[in-house]
Amino acid sequence: MPNTPFAAGALALGLLALPAAAQEVDDDSRPEPSSSDLAARVRADVDETSLRWLGIARVRYSIPLEFSAGGGAVLARMPASYDCATFCEYRGFVAQIEPGSAGAQLGVGYARVIAAQKPRSAFLNNVYVGWSARAVLVRTWGDSELDPARQTLAGFEGQFALPRITFNLGVLRRISSAHPGADRHVYTAGIGWGF
Amino acid sequence: MPGAVRPAPLRFGLVTSVVVVLLGFGGPGAAPGLETDQFFAWGRHVEDMSEVLNARVNLELERLVAELNREGRDRRCQRVRFRFFKRHRMLFFDGFETWSVNSPLVSRSPSGPEEMREFEQKYLYGGTSPLFDTGRWMPPSPTVEVDGIRLGTDKLTHLLGTAWYYHRWYRKARARGLTPAEAEDRAARRGLQHEITILGRAVSGVLSLADLEANYEGMWFYEHLCAGDDPHIVYEEGLWRLRRPFDLRDYVTPEWDESYQPNIYVRRKWGKVKPRMLGYCPMLEHPQVRARRQDYAKRERVTATEELIDEMVIAGKLPDPSGFSIESVCREAAN
């Protein structure tokens, strides 16, 4: 599958091109007993939420992708007024495509990450701490350490991120055909930068 | 070896080492810190946020009451306490702190892109390595003002988040038959050990006495949330109600201001912090700073945390915090 990295990269760029601005306003606030105007303003500030797409990126070395670069997005709901210049907690759906030297990975799942965002940036700029749990689909090719080198695998990956560094562990199950006696499971591990 | 991953441990190990080292040195995504810096706010206008922060906490208490009433039955107070804690618990930071650093209703310093850039230059802990100083792995907490007292927004996490654990230690000690005074002492000592080890000095090189003060006060907030003579929330005639609104002014004292109540630093950290603190010596004569510190001195009392720290200092287990005060630094520089 020689074109897989390019296709994956194009899809990642497409995801990142999604607008980072507020896309939906939640008007689910219930009336609370309060007489003061200040209480009403605070309530409105907390309850007026929006969905935000924020781009994420990581580079890492992992088994079985080896050297790879990933791009994707986190979709999180939070109060619409938040600028996240100091930090915000982004909680929600995560999707990422990651082409590498020995394969490519598509992952979707749930993420919780404390991060800051620079003004007018569509990316999470400073990731302080976070984790994600993803269902992943992996296709390996030419340089893969796996035997056979070309395999399609599906499984789960857990990720833990600190400033500057990210770790992941996971398990994959082969879903493509292979020669008799080939292992069905591959354990994955990786280290890199980003989220 | 059909079907197995051909091992690449050497390459993986090498890449791991390279990533750790290279990305650590000045790479993108450097985190500014875990601490707070009230010195930066000296001479800057920050509006009093007592009412705003109270309104935010009371909103959550009202919602807790509404939630309890929807369930329509009495609950054990400890369960009510935990429900409140859970409502604002987030990953690492407390929900109230996250709101206070983001809401446009909260006046804080630094605020706005220009002041944020200035803060990056002047940050008290900015002289340390962002790689090796774990205190800088997390964002610094901006300064807000409550009842004339300047404090970092991290104190909200301490008062309403970390204090939950203090309160649990207190309750456990009470359940073992200790008197309230003994249980309080047990919780405060355990909290100090945590701050010395996993939460503070051993990790970031800073033992924040202001954090300890907020933790201690928060323990009493949780104790009186739904119990005692004057609880915030009561269950009466089949209904939960907010009997006494939360007021942050009942808890905040001058000791929460880290430019007034000095932290205790480990030697390596102090060597980096002291030169930056020295830069604030001329500001001690600033009218706003002088007036505030005079007001603090009038309001100051000996707190339970200070008594505990004094005991540790006398026992030689901690250095005297007064040696890390701005007055001490400026006096030493003048001589």
pLDDT surpassing 50 at residue A123: yes
Residues of B in contact with A38 (CB under 8 A): 51-52, 55
Whole-number pLDDT of residue B11: 60
**Higher pLDDT, residue A180 or A27:** A180
Using CA atoms, how far apart are residues A81 and A90, in angstroms rounded to an integer? 14
CA distance B32 to chain A (A): 9
A109 touches chain B (CB under 8 A): no
- What is residue B270's predicted lDDT score, i.e. its pLDDT? 94
Omega before residue A148 within 30° of 0, cis = yes
Instruction: Name beta bridge partners: B192.
Output: none
Residue B297's CB is within 10 A of a number of other CB atoms, namely 10
Beta-bridge partners for A111: A92, A132
User: Which residues in chain B are contacts of A83 at CB distance < 8 A?
Assistant: 102
What is the tens place of the pLDDT at every residue in A68-82? Answer: 999 999 999 999 999
Q: Which of A16-25, A141-150, B64-73, B124-133 has the lowest mean pLDDT?
A: A16-25
pLDDT recorded at residue B25? 41
**What's the confidence (pLDDT) of residue B257?**
98
Q: Is A61 in Cβ contact with B16 (below 8 Å)?
A: yes
B78 in helix, strand or coil? helix
Q: Which amino acid is located at B261 in the chain?
A: Q
> Is ipTM strictly over 0.90?
no
Average pLDDT for chain A: 84
Find chain B residues with C-beta within 8 A of A191's C-beta.
12, 15-16, 19-20
**Which among A41, A191, A195 is the top mutation candidate for probing chain B, defined by the most B β-carbons within 10 Å of its own β-carbon?**
A191
Report which of B221, B246, B234 is spatially closest to residue B74, judged by C-alpha positions: B234
Q: Do A21 and A53 contact (CB within 8 A), yes or no?
A: no
Contact A89 B102 (CB under 8 A): no
Torsion angle in degrees (nearest 10) through CA of B292, B295, B301, B304: -20
Residue the block writes with tokens 């802990």 = B125
Question: At B199, which amino acid appears?
Answer: L
pLDDT at res. B135? 74
pTM: 0.83
Q: Which two tokens stand for residue A77?
A: 């709901």
Q: Which long-range contacts (CB under 8 A, 24 or more apart) does B321-328 make?
A: B321/B209, B321/B261, B321/B262, B321/B263, B321/B264, B322/B262, B323/B262, B324/B262, B324/B263, B324/B264, B324/B265, B324/B270, B325/B262, B326/B39, B326/B259, B326/B262, B326/B277, B326/B280, B326/B281, B326/B284, B327/B284, B328/B262
Residues 147-166 of A with CB under 8 A from B: 147, 162-165
What six digits make up the tokens of B20? 């750790």
pLDDT tens for chain B, 335 residues: list them: 344 444 555 665 665 555 554 444 433 333 334 689 999 999 999 999 999 999 999 999 999 999 999 998 889 999 999 999 999 887 778 899 999 999 999 999 999 889 999 999 999 998 877 777 777 778 899 999 999 999 999 999 999 999 999 999 999 999 999 999 999 999 999 999 988 876 666 677 899 999 999 999 999 999 999 999 999 999 999 999 999 999 999 999 999 999 999 999 999 899 999 999 999 999 999 999 999 999 999 999 999 999 999 999 999 999 999 999 999 999 999 98
**Interchain proximity A45–B103, CB inside 8 Å:** yes
Spell out which residues of chain B touch residue A178, defining contact as CB-CB under 8 Å.
3
**Is A39 touching B (CB cutoff 8 A)?**
yes
Rounded to 10 degrees, the C-alpha dihedral B163/B165/B169/B172 comes to 120
B103 and A82 within 8 Å at the Cβ level: the answer is yes
Which of A38, A42, A47, A77 is the best residue to mutate to test the B interface, defined by the most B CB atoms within 10 Å of its own CB?
Answer: A42
Cβ separation A128–B139 shorter than 8 A: yes
Check B5 against A145: CB less than 8 A apart. Answer: yes
Nearest to B200 by CA among B84, B309, B303: B309
> How sure is the predictor about A26, in pLDDT bands with cuts at 50, 70 and 90?
very low
**Length of chain A as a residue count:** 195
Is B145 in a helix, a strand, or coil? strand
Q: Give the residue carrying structure tokens 């309403």.
A: B160
Q: Which pair of structure tokens corresponds to residue A25?
A: 């306003």
The owner of tokens 């250095």 is B319
Burial of residue B205 (CB within 10 Å: 0-12, 13-18, 19+) is buried
Of residues A65 and B72, more confidence is placed in A65
Q: Which three-class secondary structure state does DSSP give residue A162?
A: strand
Whether residue A86 and residue B139 make contact (CB cut-off 8 A), yes or no, is yes
Taking contacts as CB-CB distances below 8 angstroms, the residues of chain A near B93 are: 87, 89, 114
Q: For position A31, what pLDDT does the model report?
A: 45
- Phi–psi pair at B188, nearest 5 degrees: -65, -40
Among candidates A39, A84, A88 on the partner chain, residue whose Cβ is nearest the Cβ of B55: A39
A24 pLDDT more than 70:
no
Using a CB-CB cut-off of 8 Å, the residues of chain B touching A165 are: 19-20, 23-24
Nearest CB neighbour to A63, from listed B12, B24, B104: B12
Out of A32, A86, A116, name the one closest to residue B62 (CB).
A32
